[in-house]
């Protein structure tokens, strides 16, 4: 019996360790019931969340980012939280760059690390903004940048700015309460403002295509966290229809509203959630 247990222990010790998702600040959705003047406003980037602990750059999943040495070598010893970003509408291109096991030096020269928070830093968010600006300026690296933060007087001005950003190809806006201390987890101190809703679901089946999509993916059957199931049939590139997200993958989708049964109306595939 002892020999049996020792053999299983030896096998367990050889198994790869799985990264734990990092405890980061996550946004709730803006519903129009807050005083916009009490918040700092910034653009919501369609990038890849990345956390720098002072030594290693990691995705939100906890897995390491395989960035070039020169990229991380310019980062300060202080922890940072931000988005790896190429520009509006370039998420798929960015995802391809940051997922490579061997970094493409030329491709990484286009990537910027946009900083919007200083983990564990003291003071209000207003005070941390000044620290972010100082830290990024001191690094003197063009790929390390502070996210522009600005103030708006009311909800009407917020809607006008949102319309401007979306017309220009942006995703939306973020609101961060000016007096908020640093915290982790989902919090109303950080709000996302978009013209659509988004959520995540797990892929449970590949539904075959018809007509021009015969022999390709027609739709993903997915399950919501509460177990409700529905199909996502739009938003895919031809490449994604030929090689769809594997079963068990978490995907992000957009939708307009929920039906009476709690099912997303007009869901559209946005991206793979656990590809990083």
CATH number of the domain to which 163 belongs = 3.30.470.30
| Coil, helix or strand at residue 22 | coil
Q: For the chain, count helices (H), then strands (E).
A: 7, 16
Task: Give Cα separations from 155 to 42, 151, 162, 187 (angstroms).
Answer: 14, 11, 10, 20
Q: How far apart are CA 28 and CA 8, in angstroms?
A: 44
Residue 250: domain span: 197-272
Asked if residue 76 lies in contact with residue 135, where contact means CB atoms within 8 angstroms, the answer is yes
Q: Is 160 a catalytic residue?
A: no
Q: Catalytic pick from 44, 66, 160, 192?
A: 44
pLDDT in tens, the chain (276 residues): 444 344 434 434 433 444 578 889 999 999 888 999 999 999 999 899 999 999 999 999 899 999 999 999 999 999 999 999 999 989 889 989 999 999 999 999 999 999 999 998 999 999 999 999 999 999 999 999 999 999 999 999 999 999 999 999 898 999 999 999 999 999 999 999 998 888 899 999 999 998 889 999 999 999 999 999 999 999 999 999 999 999 999 999 988 778 888 999 889 999 887 545
Tell me which of 170, 193, 216 is where a domain ends.
193
- Pair 185, 211 in one domain: no
- Model pTM? 0.75
Residues 168 and 243 in one domain: no
Q: Please tell me the total count of domains within the chain.
A: 2
Cα gap 48→271, rounded to integer Å = 11
Residues 214, 249, single domain; the answer is yes
Is 152 within 8 Å of 41 (Cβ atoms)? yes
Question: Is residue 129 domain-resident?
Answer: yes
Picking from 193, 220, 245, the residue at the C-terminal end of a domain is: 193
Based on the fold, state whether residues 106 and 49 are members of the same structural domain. yes
């Amino acid at each position: 019996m002892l020999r049996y247990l020792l053999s299983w222990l030896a096998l367990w010790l050889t198994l790869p360790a799985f990264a734990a998702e990092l405890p980061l600040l996550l946004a709730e959705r803006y519903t129009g019931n807050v005083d916009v003047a009490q918040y700092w406003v910034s653009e919501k980037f369609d990038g890849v969340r990345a956390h720098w602990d002072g030594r290693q750059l990691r995705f939100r999943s906890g897995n390491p980012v395989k960035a070039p040495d020169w990229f991380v070598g310019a980062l300060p010893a202080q922890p940072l939280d931000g988005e790896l970003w190429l520009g509006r509408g370039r998420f798929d291109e960015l995802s391809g760059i940051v997922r490579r096991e061997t970094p493409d030096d030329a491709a990484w020269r286009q990537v910027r690390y946009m900083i919007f928070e200083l983990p564990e830093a003291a003071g209000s968010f207003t005070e941390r903004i000044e620290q972010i600006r100082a830290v990024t300026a001191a690094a003197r690296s063009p790929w390390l940048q502070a996210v522009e933060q600005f103030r708006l007087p009311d909800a009407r001005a917020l809607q006008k700015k949102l319309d401007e950003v979306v017309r220009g190809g942006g995703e939306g806006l973020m609101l961060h309460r000016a007096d908020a201390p640093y915290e982790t987890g989902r919090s109303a101190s950080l709000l996302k403002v978009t013209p659509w809703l988004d959520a995540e679901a797990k892929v449970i089946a590949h539904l075959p295509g018809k007509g021009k999509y015969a022999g390709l993916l027609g739709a993903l059957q997915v399950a919501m966290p509460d177990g409700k199931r529905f199909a996502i049939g739009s938003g895919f590139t031809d490449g994604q229809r030929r090689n769809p997200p594997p079963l068990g993958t978490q995907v992000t989708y957009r939708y307009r509203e929920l039906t009476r049964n709690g099912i997303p109306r007009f869901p559209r595939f946005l991206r793979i959630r656990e590809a990083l």
